[in-house]
Amino acid sequence: MSGARMSSTLASPSSAASPTGSTPSRDRRWWWALAVVVLGSFTVLLWMGLEIDESKPPIPARVVATDGTVLVDGDDVMDGQRVWQSIGGQQIGSVWGHGAYVAPDWTADWLHREATFVLDEYARDMGVASYDAASPEQQGALQARLRQTFRTNTYDPAAGTITLDPVRARAFEANARHYADVFGRGHEQYAIPAGTVKDPEAMRQMTTFFWWSSWAASTNAPGDDATYTRNWPHEPLVGNTPTPTNVLWSIISIIVLLAGIAGMVWYQNFGPHDDEVTDAPPTADPLLGYEPTPSQRATLKYFFVVGALFVFQIAAGILSAHYGVEGAALYGIPIDRILPYAVVRTWHTQLGILWIATAWLATGLYVAPAVGGREPRFQRLGVNVLFGALVLVVGGSMIGQWLSITGRMGYGTTRSWWLGTTGMEYLDLARLWQIGLLVGLFLWFGLMARGMWPALGRAADGPLTPTAEAPLAAGGRRTLVLMLLMSCLAIASFFGAAFGMGHDTHLSITEYWRWWVVHLWVEGFFEVFATVVIAFLFSRLGLLRPAVAATATLSATTIFLLGGIIGTGHHLYFTGANDPVMAWSATFSALEVVPLALIGFEAFRNLRILRVSEWVAGYKWAIYFFLSVSFWNALGAGVFGFLINPPISLFYVQGLNLTPLHGHTALFGVYGMLGIGLMLFCVRSLMPGREWNDLPIKLGFWGLNGGLLAMALLSLLPLGLAQAWASITEGLWYARSAEFLATPALTVLRWMRTPGDVLFGLGALAIGVFMVGLLTGHSYRAGGGRTVPGQAVAAGTTPHEEA
């Protein structure tokens, strides 16, 4: 991934590096580069926030028609946003393209309904029965009139009033009736059950919020000929087509990516060639005979919770995918009354983050005492308290979400915000549980830091001789410990950005802070954590030269963050930002793909590690899962991420199935696989005992990878491309409409998710079976005798044969 690391992989094992490969002056330069990148990037990201605050669409206090009809008076838009959030928000359809994919995008749907309503009235003015019945010349004239009406900005900042043509007031009422019907009587194809919103006043407010999102998307920003959402969604009727800035910066971003890759390849060929993989590995596993401390044994239960949450997440995922094909039922059983789509989808996305986080938390807690060489006082108590807190947050937030989405907490109430759901995708857990999670993350960091602290005090370069109490302590450089701790601190701290969104925050600003958490996590500090933790474990086991690994990790981190921090803006192109924000975001997010394009080399490094010494084969499956981390980083994050990344691409496909294509392959492919790999690594050394029967892991590995690939290639990719075509030719509303999705070809594609989902589900189940087998004993090989941690290979077989 970093130049140094990739060059090391390409270099021959005997290439010149000192035994310790010490490169302190190079490290110092990279530390400086990292500091400059982080400070500079956050300055730009904060500036972008100020720009968005300036350019975001205003929320009117009054909306009136020129004939005196009052449509909105007071806080209806904000109240409506809160109602929408409390019934699941982004988990039911989407607004401004962000959210779930089964029901329509309400912004695009409203806009198209309003536009056709107005065009039909205009046609009748002309003496034609409807817009469709008009001649092409008449249609052209009608469209020109429509654009004039829609795009002209009539907001009066002094009075806070928007003035509309009376025909739009009539369209408003027609749409309001339609949505009252959808959310009142239910809509099977949208997977919206009857009685989703029972209170007419709340319904009216939510309608007003939908109207506002559409008004912002079709009204020119002041002094501009693009709308507040940069002409998103694509809707030819009102002239919503890509802006010149969009086209220009899309092209520039592609060139920047090519230049970046060229630079990396150059560096790889002409930069320093230090081999990272050691040619003098320890003769035995350093963890051999290590007695886990009480706190380390206490982390074991975390991994069983990981397994349980993972299986549960998949059950929720299969159910929510199923809602996409059978709107209200599971093979005929009407489950939408008890577990509506929005509930299972919110559980599905949240559980994914929570089990991955749990696996990482446990890894950090497990590793710390083995690095520090001593068990800090009350460490076990801390590990147990954290476990209790985690269980409370998971259980409490899920119950709250069910209560709120099924209307049991009232619509848009403070109670729902604090205890129910925020309705914002990936940060759906209510405020109280967010506080719990933040406290938990800091508790985790504290426990880890005190465990590792002694290692920081040691000399920069220790000899490669582990001690009995600190099998992972020796031979390490300070850099890797420091970086591991820093990435964990960043993960904990950046969750704090969630508190930038409040219960009365403008949608543009809410999105800004939401992506601070989600994007900066997955494309920033999680990437750093993944890089550091793998390099850390391997070098602590004596398989990588610590100094070379440290430099490689430091440079990789710098390169990731160079694109990753400013790249946050690629989620904000169409949420009320302006052109400069789009230009910066498009350029820097393209740079994110540079390290990913070359990350496959890391897989080769891991394969080489597997062959370095016989005992390494005990970690075979953990290493295989780390290999798939590299694979999915290249395909899911790199290729499928960049597929939707240039503004011109996202303009058409935001909110279509190319986004979950990327979301699944990147989030599960990279961090899910990492979580499983770390889990196997820790469990392997935590449960010294008999040799593993690793058949279930093997099935799990191939089931998960094959299933994910099948889900991507058989269903999500073709479905997403078909939708992209519909969006480009007709408009976004059409790509998401029930009529388009119900066509026979599309129905087949949606059902084609089944093979991949089933394979994937079986893979997950196999991992679950293995974990349970560790407790019941059936995951140990019969007659395998007692072996020691990391020593799963029977004498006489070589790792090569095993692989």
**Exactly one of 466, 663, 756, 768 binds ligand HEM (CB under 6 A); which one?**
663
Helix (H, G, I), strand (E, B) or coil at 154: coil
Name the residue with the smallest CB distance to ligand HEM: 641
Residue 715 makes contact with ligand HEM by CB under 6 A:
no
760 binds, among ligand HEM, Fe ion, none (CB under 5 to 8 A by kind): none
**Exactly one of 606, 654, 779, 791 binds ligand HEM (CB under 6 A); which one?**
654
* Closer residue to Fe ion, CB minimum distance, 523 or 694: 523
Q: How far is CA 788 from the centre of its chain?
A: 38
Can you say whether the dihedral through the CA atoms of 361, 362, 363, 364 is positive or negative?
positive
**Exactly one of 17, 142, 481, 522 binds ligand HEM (CB under 6 A); which one?**
522
CA distances from 586 to 105, 128, 569, 643 (A): 24, 45, 8, 13
Residue 535 makes contact with ligand HEM by CB under 6 A:
no
- Residues 6 or more apart in contact with residue 251 via CB below 8 angstroms: none
The number of beta carbons lying within 10 Å of the beta carbon of residue 427 is 25
* Closer residue to ligand HEM, CB minimum distance, 571 or 684: 571
Residue type, 230: R
Phi first, then psi, for residue 332 (nearest 5°) are 100, -20
**Exactly one of 85, 613, 659, 737 binds ligand HEM (CB under 6 A); which one?**
659
Residue 76 makes contact with ligand HEM by CB under 6 A:
no
* Closer residue to ligand HEM, CB minimum distance, 471 or 569: 569
Distance CA 654, CA 570 (A): 11
Q: Least CB distance from residue 523 to Fe ion, whole Å?
A: 5
Can you say whether the dihedral through the CA atoms of 733, 735, 737, 739 is positive or negative?
positive
Residue 571 makes contact with ligand HEM by CB under 6 A:
yes
Q: Least CB distance from residue 508 to Fe ion, whole Å?
A: 17
The number of beta carbons lying within 10 Å of the beta carbon of residue 140 is 11
**Exactly one of 592, 602, 694, 757 binds ligand HEM (CB under 6 A); which one?**
592
Distance CA 540, CA 771 (A): 25
Q: How far is CA 579 from the centre of its chain?
A: 25
* Closer residue to ligand HEM, CB minimum distance, 369 or 646: 646
Six token digits for residue 724: 């992209």
Residue 257 makes contact with ligand HEM by CB under 6 A:
no
Q: Which residues pair with 156 in a beta bridge?
A: 161
Question: Among 115-123, 380-388, 542-550, 587-595, which window interacts with ligand HEM (CB under 6 A)?
Answer: 587-595
Distance CA 152, CA 145 (A): 11
Q: Mind giving me the DSSP string for 196-228?
A: SS--HHHHHHHHHHHHHHHHHHHSBPTT-SSBT
Residue 233: is the preceding peptide bond cis (ω within 30°)? Answer: yes
Task: Give strand ranges (E) for 56-97.
Answer: 62-65, 70-73, 94-95
Residue type, 460: A
* Closer residue to ligand HEM, CB minimum distance, 64 or 667: 667
Six token digits for residue 325: 């094909």
Q: Least CB distance from residue 231 to Fe ion, whole Å?
A: 21
Phi first, then psi, for residue 413 (nearest 5°) are -85, 160
Q: Which of residues 210-229 bind ligand HEM (CB under 6 A)?
A: none
* Closer residue to ligand HEM, CB minimum distance, 85 or 143: 85
List of residues contacting Fe ion (CB under 5 A): 519, 523
Q: Are strands 94-95 and 155-156 parallel, antiparallel or unpaired?
A: unpaired
Q: Mind giving me the DSSP string for 371-439?
A: HHSS--TTHHHHHHHHHHHHHHHHHHHHHHHHHHHTTTT-SS-HHIIIIIB---TT--B-HHHHHHHHH
Residue type, 188: E
Distance CA 559, CA 112 (A): 43
Residue 670 makes contact with ligand HEM by CB under 6 A:
yes
Q: Which residues pair with 161 in a beta bridge?
A: 62, 156
Six token digits for residue 629: 């981390």
637 binds, among ligand HEM, Fe ion, none (CB under 5 to 8 A by kind): ligand HEM
**Exactly one of 112, 168, 322, 662 binds ligand HEM (CB under 6 A); which one?**
662
666 binds, among Fe ion, ligand HEM, none (CB under 5 to 8 A by kind): ligand HEM
Can you say whether the dihedral through the CA atoms of 290, 292, 296, 297 is positive or negative?
positive
Q: Least CB distance from residue 438 to ligand HEM, whole Å?
A: 20
* Closer residue to Fe ion, CB minimum distance, 548 or 586: 586
Residue 631 makes contact with ligand HEM by CB under 6 A:
no
Residue 1 makes contact with ligand HEM by CB under 6 A:
no
Residue 637 makes contact with ligand HEM by CB under 6 A:
yes
Q: Which of residues 290-309 bind ligand HEM (CB under 6 A)?
A: none
Residue 643 makes contact with ligand HEM by CB under 6 A:
no
Query: In terms of Cα–Cα distance, which of 671, 593, 598, 591 is closest to 638?
Result: 593
Q: Least CB distance from residue 496 to Fe ion, whole Å?
A: 19
**Exactly one of 48, 203, 287, 666 binds ligand HEM (CB under 6 A); which one?**
666
Q: Which of residues 541-570 bind ligand HEM (CB under 6 A)?
A: 570
Q: Least CB distance from residue 649 to ligand HEM, whole Å?
A: 8
Taking residues 79 to 108 in sequence order and writing x for each that binds ligand HEM by CB under 6 A, - otherwise, the string is ------------------xx----------
* Closer residue to ligand HEM, CB minimum distance, 593 or 704: 593
Residue 642 makes contact with ligand HEM by CB under 6 A:
yes
Q: Least CB distance from residue 570 to Fe ion, whole Å?
A: 6
Question: Among 151-159, 536-544, 554-562, 586-594, which window interacts with ligand HEM (CB under 6 A)?
Answer: 586-594
149 binds, among ligand HEM, Fe ion, none (CB under 5 to 8 A by kind): none
**Residues at the site binding ligand HEM, with contacts judged by CB under 6 A:** 97-98, 425, 522-523, 570-571, 589, 592-593, 596, 633, 637, 641-642, 644-645, 650, 654, 659-660, 662-663, 666-667, 670-671
